[in-house]
Amino acid sequence: GDSVTQMEGPVTLSEEAFLTINCTYTATGYPSLFWYVQYPGEGLQLLLKATKADDKGSNKGFEATYRKETTSFHLEKGSVQVSDSAVYFCANYGGATNKLIFGTGTLLAVQP
């Protein structure tokens, strides 16, 4: 069945460091891919998405490229800030399943 695997955390970085959170997926057909973020004490919110191969989603300095050949959707940011500290979830949505399948989440802690 459809699944998402993302790197385990926690990831601890200093401010202005480069961030990569790896995500790979399995899916039937051509899913849409997402990164959701959950800031401390807040609800889950969409960070970025890509709906087809080679699309790049971007928002708030974060980027992820839909790579069909490697079934990956790695999240990157060139220079993280303390305010980026949160839990990041990779997810795929397949038209065959009609539901979002989430990874286990990666806790990012950015230190000043």
Partner 1 sequence: GAGVSQSPSNKVTEKGKDVELRCDPISGHTALYWYRQRLGQGLEFLIYFQGNSAPDKSGLPSDRFSAERTGESVSTLTIQRTQQEDSAVYLCASSLWAGQGNTGELFFGEGSRLTVL
Contact stretch for partner 1 (CB under 8 A) within 20-28, 59-67, 68-76, 99-107: 99-107
Least distance (Å) from partner 1 to the CB of residue 90? 10
Contact set for partner 1, span 12-31 (CB under 8 A): 31
Contacts with partner 1: how many residues (CB under 8 A)? Answer: 23
| Closer by beta carbon to partner 1, 82 or else 96 | 96
Sign of CA dihedral 94, 100, 106, 107: positive
Least distance (Å) from partner 1 to the CB of residue 16? 28
Q: Does 59 bind partner 1 (CB under 8 A)?
A: no
**With contact defined as beta carbons under 8 Å apart, do 33 and 91 qualify?**
yes
Task: Give the span between the Cα atoms of 99 and 28, in whole angstroms.
Answer: 13
How many Cα neighbours within 13 Å face the side chain of 86? 19
